[in-house]
């Protein structure tokens, strides 16, 4: 399907916080109580509409274990948005946010929009991290923040879409250089055609869903 822009997202955070479940809820609108664990990286894609424009999200869902950090680090490159996820029922996943953030800042482009997500908000009785703590962390580090539940789908749609809105605004403000693919943004094929500077770019290769 035709799109105006393609944004690359990366989902990061400790293992077991629900990264793959958030992705599945966003792309397939379903929840799998026992999800396979992710080794390396998995992928998802979905079309959304912002400001009347079709935007394709290409989402990289990464493995969370510390050992895989050196691998996943290389996947930050060319991401326009990152969802940094922790589990509100496990404080250690919140405590590790600083190292995740350092990693993300160091290996991504400086304009990457980061959304902090406190997942599993449906498990209120087992909560270990207060919502205010998440908000404070986000404020301090200049992130957007939301609590979500991949199980009930609460705020999942919003988390992905608000991140895209922020990226879109940055494009409008001219913060992102959309002609530089390292920023994780590609212009859709039909738009690229009118943009001569991109004629030789990769925009066209991402067109449509293939012929099969």
Partner 1 sequence: RLTSYWMVFSMLRLTSGFTMRSGCFFARGLFSRRQREAHSAPGWKLFGKVPPRESTPKDSRTIQQEYEAKTSKAGHSPPQPTSGRRKNLQFEPLSTTALILEERPANLPAKPEEEAQRHRQEYNEMVAEAKKRELKEAQKKKQQMKERFRQEESIASAMVVWNTEILPNWDSMRSTRKVKDLWWQGLPPNVRGRVWSLAIGNDLNITAGILTLKSLWRSYVESIREFGASMADRESSLDLIKLDISRTFPSLYIFQKGGPYHDLLHSVLGAYTCYRPDVGYVQGMSFIAAVLILNLEEADAFIAFANLLNKPCQMAFFRVDHELMLKYFAAFEVFFEENLPRLFSHFKSSGLTPDLYLIDWIFTLYSKSLPLDVACRVWDVFCRDGEEFLFRTGLGMLRLYEDTLLCMDFIHVAQFLTRLPDDVSAERLFASIACTQMTSGNRKWSQVFSALMKDKEMDKSGSPCLKSS
Residue ranges that bind partner 1, judged by CB under 8 A = 15-16, 34-37, 39-45, 58, 63, 65, 67-68, 70-71, 73-75, 77, 92, 107, 202, 205-212
CA distance 6 to 78: 12
CB of 34 to partner 1, least distance (A): 4
| 28 contacts: CB under 8 Å, gap ≥ 6 | none
- Nearer to partner 1 by Cβ, of 92 and 158: the residue is 92
- Nearer to partner 1 by Cβ, of 44 and 146: the residue is 44
CB of 104 to partner 1, least distance (A): 13
CA distance 56 to 81: 13
CB of 66 to partner 1, least distance (A): 8
DSSP alpha helix (H) spans, the chain: 19-28, 69-72, 91-95, 97-107, 131-141, 156-172, 189-194
- Nearer to partner 1 by Cβ, of 58 and 155: the residue is 58
CB of 194 to partner 1, least distance (A): 21
Comparing CA positions, the residue from 44, 163, 48, 58 lying closest to residue 111 is: 163
């Amino acid at each position: 399907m035709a799109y105006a822009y393609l944004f690359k997202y990366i989902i990061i955070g400790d293992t077991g916080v629900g990264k793959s479940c958030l992705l599945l809820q966003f792309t397939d609108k379903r929840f799998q109580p026992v999800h396979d664990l992710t080794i390396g990286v998995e992928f998802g894609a979905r079309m959304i509409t912002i400001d009347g424009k079709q935007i394709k999200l290409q989402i990289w869902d990464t493995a969370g274990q510390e050992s895989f950090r050196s691998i996943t680090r290389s996947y930050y490159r060319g991401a326009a948005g990152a969802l940094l996820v922790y589990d509100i029922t496990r404080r250690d996943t919140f405590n590790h946010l600083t190292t995740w953030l350092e990693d993300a800042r160091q290996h991504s482009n400086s304009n990457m929009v980061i959304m902090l997500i406190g997942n599993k908000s449906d498990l209120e009785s087992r909560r270990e991290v207060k919502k205010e703590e998440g908000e404070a962390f986000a404020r301090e580090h200049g992130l957007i923040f939301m609590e979500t539940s991949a199980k009930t789908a609460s705020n999942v749609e919003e988390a992905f879409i608000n991140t895209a809105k922020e990226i879109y605004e940055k494009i409008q403000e001219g913060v992102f250089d959309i002609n530089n693919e390292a920023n994780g943004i590609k212009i859709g094929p039909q738009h690229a055609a009118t943009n001569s500077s991109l004629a030789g770019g990769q925009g066209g290769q991402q067109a449509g869903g293939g012929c099969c």
